[in-house]
A and B are shown apart, each in its own frame.
Chain A
Amino acid sequence: MKYIDEFRDGELARVLAAAIAREARPGASYNLMEFCGGHTHAISRYGIKDLLPANVRMIHGPGCPVCVLPIGRIDNAIELASRPNVILATYADTMRVPASKGLSLMKAKARGADVRMVYSSADALKLARDNPSREVVFFAIGFETTTPPTAVAVREAAAQGLSNFSVFCNHVLTPAAIANILESREVRELGTVPLDGFVGPAHVSTVIGSQPYEYFAEEYQRPVVIAGFEPLDVMQAILMLVRQLNDGRAEVENEFTRAVTREGNVKAKALVAEVFELRRTFEWRGLGEVPYSALRIKEKYRAFDAEARYAIEYRSVPDNKACECGAILRGVKKPTDCKVFGTVCTPENPIGSCMVSSEGACAAHYTYGRFKDVPVVAGNAAP
């Protein structure tokens, strides 16, 4: 696959690994957070940690839109789907997220709720066109990458006069989440979470550009390197961060030049600005209330806002007391620090958000990295 396989080349991986090992100064520690769940997944799936020296540590960030979706919002989605005339169209990622009363969208579907998995917001529009007597609600989730597709769908619905289509909007924003982490007590005051730099998200950045990260580099004096989605991209970005830290620089650099520019996708941003506005605050699972971190549909398109059309009452649902997802999402703890990791809480039976999505830190570690947790036995030691 062009532009994919070349960026997964094992030979170049060794070259980059050697470079990182050479340039990371012994005695110094490099604590880098990869914000994006896709990067967390790539790091685990390709075993990148094996290729890094011990003093370069990757901390998993909260860039997993399914992980940070509060239980209460899934409850709302289930409620909507259970209404007799509603078809809830959703990306498959949300289907298994455990909500209240032991339910999930998958289980609700088994009980008769009309839940349909779609690949695209355009499919949800088609459902509305094909089922004029039913009401189609599109369960919109995702960071800035996934928001423009929802904006297009809303505008199309307006243009086509599709009065039976609405959107349950749960879109969230990356810079707000980064700020939340950098402002957390552990990072800002206590220094208990050493956080030296960020690997910036790949596809979010194709939309928002590299410009929004400049504030963080400046204000918090942490370097940011935007990395492409493939494992070589991630390694190159790590190398660039190591160099910045060695040089004492705190800049925004772009490794993903083949798809990211400073201003991003102007057309997409304009479409989003036309359809959405900021919510004053929004609850993030594991992070609590985060100001100006999420979007809702503007007055102009309120006819397509499921929260306006249906009387949706949001009830905040706290996480299980044993769950450490909040700390893990902020990079304060590791999955293996959690008492229920791998025992009660597994991908089959997830307790918290980090285990639900395949890019959550706990799910990624459980699925790909558990062999490292076991004391070394002949034959299973990593090479």
Chain B
Amino acid sequence: MSRVRSGYVRPIDFKHGRVDMTHGSGGRAMAQLIEELFLSEFDNEWLRAGNDSARIAMPAGRLVVATDSHVVSPLFFPGGDIGSLAVHGTINDVAMSGAAPLYLAATFVLEEGFPLADLKRIVASMAAASHAAGVPVVTGDTKVVEQGKGDGVFITTTGIGVVPEGIDIAGDRARPGDAILVSGTLGDHGVAIMSLRENLSFETTIESDSAALHGLVAAMVGAVPAIHCLRDPTRGGLATTLNELARQSGCGMVIRERDLPVKREVAAACEFLGLDPLYVANEGKLVAVAPAADAQRLLAAMRDHPLGRYAAIVGEAIEDPMHFVQMETSFGGRRNVDWLTGEQLPRIC
């Protein structure tokens, strides 16, 4: 005779199961998903408390908040996935103001039919990134949309952090004469993604550079508190970020092509596809603008850190009412480095 086990709930089948509408409906299925997946992976006191919000102590200093949505395709790529990207991306946005990131919130919009195995893999990756960075995911939300209305999964992360006194890092603080530095090789992430896109695939060992930069930023700010600007050159690449900073700050910029760090494989992949590494996305790099007198000290601090090993001084800000970003080509001529037009597409011509 069979006996009913009281309180028995069949565990979620993460191997073969798929997201369905009940997982977003607020009922038992959703509670189970939260418990068996999100709670189990992120595992911290705030989530364990089981409330709709997280209560945190007010830190001393000025608060910084940043948010980002992540819609990358493909979801999994060499060097990361949408989960780790979501954690690193928002930690970096917070860190670019010189702030120490403290907490993250994460929301998931799941498409009906999305494999639970993939979801588990993504959440596990997020948890690993969050733990490694020391920035917990303290609250979140899940919704499910009908099949066809979402690209598998969309993740939004929001981060808060705190800026120490005496630090004033913003996009409008670049001044003529300032040195421009980058923390490492350009274009790795974008090429890693492209190498997986249907019809563009090539065999390559390039991995995304997705990384949390707050440790590097702390080291940099410690060495040079007078840093003027920090920004991470994500979509649109270094070129777009420099144009943004130039416009916000009301100055021009000149960079030197021969000083830009680019991996050989990345350069080669860009040649194949007719892309310019200056416009290819990075997810673990930053641009710094600092007073010229501090440039060498800042460079040394960056190179001392594992994420800044290939840091380089690449140019300087100049007076320019047109706010152009120009480049001295390795060939000896000069050219504009303009804003990116739409999405950079491969070309055959």
Rounded to whole angstroms, the CA-CA distance of A358 and B252 in the bound complex is 24
Rounded to whole angstroms, the CA-CA distance of A150 and B335 in the bound complex is 35
B332 near A50: Cβ-Cβ < 8 Å: yes
Within 8 A of A (CB), among B159-196: 176
* Closest beta carbon of chain A to B237's beta carbon, Å: 14
Rounded to whole angstroms, the CA-CA distance of A37 and B347 in the bound complex is 12
Contact with A along B321-348 (1 / 0, CB 8 A): 1101010111111111010011001111
A170 at the A/B interface (Cβ < 8 Å)? Answer: no
A357 at the A/B interface (Cβ < 8 Å)? Answer: yes
A367 at the A/B interface (Cβ < 8 Å)? Answer: yes
Contact with B along A134-149 (1 / 0, CB 8 A): 0000000010001000
Rounded to whole angstroms, the CA-CA distance of A126 and B328 in the bound complex is 43
Rounded to whole angstroms, the CA-CA distance of A369 and B321 in the bound complex is 16
Q: Which residue of chain B lies nearest to A36 when distances are taken between CB atoms in the complex?
A: B349
B268 near A119: Cβ-Cβ < 8 Å: no
A371 near B326: Cβ-Cβ < 8 Å: yes
B318 at the A/B interface (Cβ < 8 Å)? Answer: yes
Q: Which of A40-48, A210-218, A285-293 contacts B (4 or more CB under 8 A)?
A: A40-48
Given A92-B345, A92-B346, A380-B318, residue A48 in contact with residue B326 (CB < 8 A): no
A96 at the A/B interface (Cβ < 8 Å)? Answer: yes
A38 at the A/B interface (Cβ < 8 Å)? Answer: yes
* Closest beta carbon of chain A to B332's beta carbon, Å: 5
B341 near A371: Cβ-Cβ < 8 Å: no
B residues less than 8 Å from A51 (CB atoms) = 332-333
A379 near B319: Cβ-Cβ < 8 Å: yes
A residues less than 8 Å from B332 (CB atoms) = 10, 13-14, 17, 47, 50-51
* Closest beta carbon of chain A to B256's beta carbon, Å: 11
A1 near B268: Cβ-Cβ < 8 Å: yes
B318 near A379: Cβ-Cβ < 8 Å: yes
Rounded to whole angstroms, the CA-CA distance of A185 and B271 in the bound complex is 39
Interface size range of chain A in the complex: 35 or more
B349 near A359: Cβ-Cβ < 8 Å: yes
B319 near A378: Cβ-Cβ < 8 Å: yes
A residues less than 8 Å from B146 (CB atoms) = none
B331 near A116: Cβ-Cβ < 8 Å: no
Interface of B: prevailing SS: loop
Rounded to whole angstroms, the CA-CA distance of A66 and B273 in the bound complex is 16
Number of B interface residues in the complex (CB < 8 A): 36
A residues less than 8 Å from B346 (CB atoms) = 92, 117, 119
Given A46-B331, A370-B336, residue A117 in contact with residue B252 (CB < 8 A): no
Rounded to whole angstroms, the CA-CA distance of A347 and B332 in the bound complex is 26
Q: Which residue of chain A lies nearest to B338 when distances are taken between CB atoms in the complex?
A: A367
* Closest beta carbon of chain A to B33's beta carbon, Å: 32
A377 near B349: Cβ-Cβ < 8 Å: no
Within 8 A of B (CB), among A1-52: 1, 4, 8, 10, 13-14, 17, 37-38, 44-51
B residues less than 8 Å from A382 (CB atoms) = 333-334
B residues less than 8 Å from A47 (CB atoms) = 329, 331-335
B residues less than 8 Å from A123 (CB atoms) = 199
Partner of A370 from the list B319, B324, B330, B342 (CB cut-off 8 Å) is B324
A residues less than 8 Å from B258 (CB atoms) = 10
B200 at the A/B interface (Cβ < 8 Å)? Answer: yes
B342 near A96: Cβ-Cβ < 8 Å: yes
* Closest beta carbon of chain A to B263's beta carbon, Å: 12
* Closest beta carbon of chain A to B112's beta carbon, Å: 20
A residues less than 8 Å from B318 (CB atoms) = 379-380
A92 near B347: Cβ-Cβ < 8 Å: yes
Contact with B along A142-167 (1 / 0, CB 8 A): 10001000000000000000000000
A368 near B336: Cβ-Cβ < 8 Å: yes
B347 near A358: Cβ-Cβ < 8 Å: yes
* Closest beta carbon of chain A to B203's beta carbon, Å: 14
A118 at the A/B interface (Cβ < 8 Å)? Answer: yes
Rounded to whole angstroms, the CA-CA distance of A357 and B342 in the bound complex is 13
Rounded to whole angstroms, the CA-CA distance of A46 and B335 in the bound complex is 7
B267 at the A/B interface (Cβ < 8 Å)? Answer: yes
A residues less than 8 Å from B271 (CB atoms) = 1, 4
B336 near A367: Cβ-Cβ < 8 Å: yes
B320 at the A/B interface (Cβ < 8 Å)? Answer: yes
Rounded to whole angstroms, the CA-CA distance of A291 and B20 in the bound complex is 61
B322 near A13: Cβ-Cβ < 8 Å: no
B residues less than 8 Å from A119 (CB atoms) = 199-200, 273, 346, 348
A117 near B345: Cβ-Cβ < 8 Å: yes
A65 at the A/B interface (Cβ < 8 Å)? Answer: yes
A191 at the A/B interface (Cβ < 8 Å)? Answer: no
B349 near A38: Cβ-Cβ < 8 Å: yes
Partner of A48 from the list B320, B333, B342, B349 (CB cut-off 8 Å) is B333
A-B contacts, 9 listed (Cβ < 8 Å): A10-B331, A47-B334, A65-B349, A119-B200, A119-B346, A123-B199, A368-B335, A377-B322, A379-B176
